Amino acid sequence: MEDFIQALKFRVLEGGEVSFDEAVRLIEIEDREDLDLLLAAAREITHHFNSDEPGLCSLINAKSYMCGEDCSFCSQSVRFDTTADRYGLMPVEEVVQAAKDFEKKGTQNFCIVTSGGELNDQEFERVLEMYRRLGEETSLSLDGSLGFLTPQRVNRLKEAGLRRFNDNLQSSREFYPNIVTTHNYDKRLETLRMLQDGNVEICSGGILGMGETREDRVKLAFELKPFAPHCLPMNILNPRPGTPLEAQPAPDPLEMVKTLAVFRFVHPKANIKLAGGRESNLGAHYQEMALRGGANGMIVGGYLTTQGNPMQQDMEMLRRAGFRPKAAKEQKEPTTVSPTP
């Protein structure tokens, strides 16, 4: 196995690619010594193609629990009885202030997230104003996760200052019907193609630990490959009470770390980010292992409906893993924004 891992590593370092079958062989590794070799090789690929400054992104849940889709992992679906906060689109001023607070802590990227299949026209105009204000008043790179798009909306978002858009595929095509029935996989791929056509950077990843197989995880990596996502966020299911997946068993943390390493072989240049569920499923030890074995970024400052680590704690972990996060401008935590309905 050592010769196999090394051969694949050198192929990727020289600009080559791994095949689906080769990636499946990697994800089937069980021996701990072989796993250590895999993580070391993934780390070398990471630092060959990427900066030692980690990709850090903070987000704001600008519209919550207003979604009619039935994604089984999501506490913001109105189809499920959950404790998620329910509020409409936040005022522009509150979103701008939240972004400024995150910027002071060293975040480079800020993502406006809204629940629901798509924004109505009035909401969309308000979101455009948010991006225009953020472009004028911050130095942040601006991202969005705003549901399904049209080519016209892609162009208008880009004109307003959007740099990157998030549209997670979530899982393999084959596993997808087990978690979503209100729209199909091709709907998500259509959004990614619109972003490509509109020259908007792509942020797209998935969720691990929903009951999928190892092969499903490799299939997700290869579904994403034609879109060459700049940012590839990998969530690990944090089961939310009231959702269909609330009783899903926690995955093996080493299995999750290994999966991220395999994603690095398939996506050598992507910013592979540890995202939602990293704290509850991996803890500090396995998060740091993942950062030493394929991941090179994180979502920081909390998630849509759950809290994350204190940002200073994450910065210290990144430094221990060999990265150089941007220095914070102040020591206190970002102000918690109470959304106004």
Is 209:252 a contact under the CB 8 Å cutoff? no
Residue 110 parent element (H or E): strand 109-114
Q: Which residues contact 121 (CB under 8 A, 6 or more apart)?
A: none
pTM: 0.92
Q: 88-145 pLDDT, tens per residue?
A: 999 999 999 999 998 988 788 999 999 988 999 999 999 999 999 999 999 999 999 9
Supply the pLDDT for residue 99. Answer: 94
Cα–Cα distance between 244 and 179 in angstroms, integer? 9
Cα→Cα distances 216→89, 100, 206, Å: 35, 39, 11
As a whole number of Å, the end-to-end CA separation of the chain is 56
Q: 9-22 pLDDT, tens per residue?
A: 999 999 999 999 99
- Indicate the average pLDDT of the chain: 92
**Burial of residue 85 (number of CB atoms within 10 Å: 0-12, 13-18, 19+):** middle
Supply the pLDDT for residue 166. Answer: 96
- For residues 1-16, average pLDDT: 98
Buried b or exposed e, range 104-141, using 16+ CB within 10 angstroms: ebbbbbbbbbbbbeebeeebbebbbebbebbeeeeebb
Q: 65-83 pLDDT, tens per residue?
A: 878 899 999 988 888 988 8
Supply the pLDDT for residue 310. Answer: 79
Q: Is 319's pLDDT higher than 60?
A: yes
Q: 31-74 pLDDT, tens per residue?
A: 999 999 999 999 999 999 999 999 999 999 999 887 889 999 99
- % of the chain surpassing 70 pLDDT: 94
Is 62:114 a contact under the CB 8 Å cutoff? yes
User: What SS3 class is residue 309?
Assistant: coil
- Of 155, 180, 61, which Cα lies nearest the Cα of 115? 61
Q: 122-135 pLDDT, tens per residue?
A: 999 999 999 999 99
**What does the domain layout of the chain look like in residue ranges?**
2-320
Q: Which fold is adopted by the domain 2-320?
A: TIM Barrel (3.20.20)
- % of the chain surpassing 90 pLDDT: 81
Supply the pLDDT for residue 308. Answer: 75
Supply the pLDDT for residue 336. Answer: 36
Is 82:240 a contact under the CB 8 Å cutoff? yes
Supply the pLDDT for residue 327. Answer: 62
Residue 71, token pair as written in the block: 């994604």
* Residue for token pair 């208008």: 156
